[in-house]
Amino acid sequence: MSGRTHARACPERTCVGCRERAAKSELLRIAVDEDACVPDPRGTLPGRGAYVHPVTVCLDLAVRRRAFPRAFKAKGPLDSAEVQRYVERVTP
């Protein structure tokens, strides 16, 4: 034993909008319910998640790039209006 303590690594995720890596705590988790993307700020909804910075710029990039259907392996487009409303509400 060397006696050194290891700092626990902070989990990182990639924003599907800007494609930059960031601490998981800085990103908003998005989940799918039916054919719509829903914000999952507590990270408790079941299923696959996609992460995005909770700012309009990154959300717009993700929508324009069709990143959500790709991340969720969806067959068709996904409605992201609820996520848009959430981001507009939490962004100063």
| Global confidence as pTM | 0.87
Q: Is residue 5 part of a domain?
A: no
Q: In whole angstroms, give the CA distance from residue 21 to residue 85.
A: 24
b/e string for 24-50 if b means 16 or more Cβ within 10 A?
eeebbbbbbeeeebbbbeeeebeeebb
Domain hosting 24: range is: 12-90
The pLDDT assigned to 65 comes to 96
Q: Is residue 7 part of a domain?
A: no
Q: Going residue by residue through the chain (92 aa), what tens digit of pLDDT does each one get?
A: 455 566 678 899 999 999 999 999 999 999 999 899 999 999 999 999 999 999 999 999 999 999 999 999 999 899 999 999 999 998 87
The pLDDT assigned to 6 comes to 61
Q: Is residue 51 part of a domain?
A: yes
C-alpha dist (Å) from residue 83 to 50, 68, 79, 91: 12, 11, 9, 12
- Number of domains composing the chain: 1
CATH of the domain at 39: 3.30.1230.10
Q: In whole angstroms, give the CA distance from residue 85 to residue 13.
A: 22
The pLDDT assigned to 8 comes to 76
Q: Is residue 1 part of a domain?
A: no
Q: How many CA atoms lie within 13 A of 58 on its CB side?
A: 23
The pLDDT assigned to 3 comes to 52
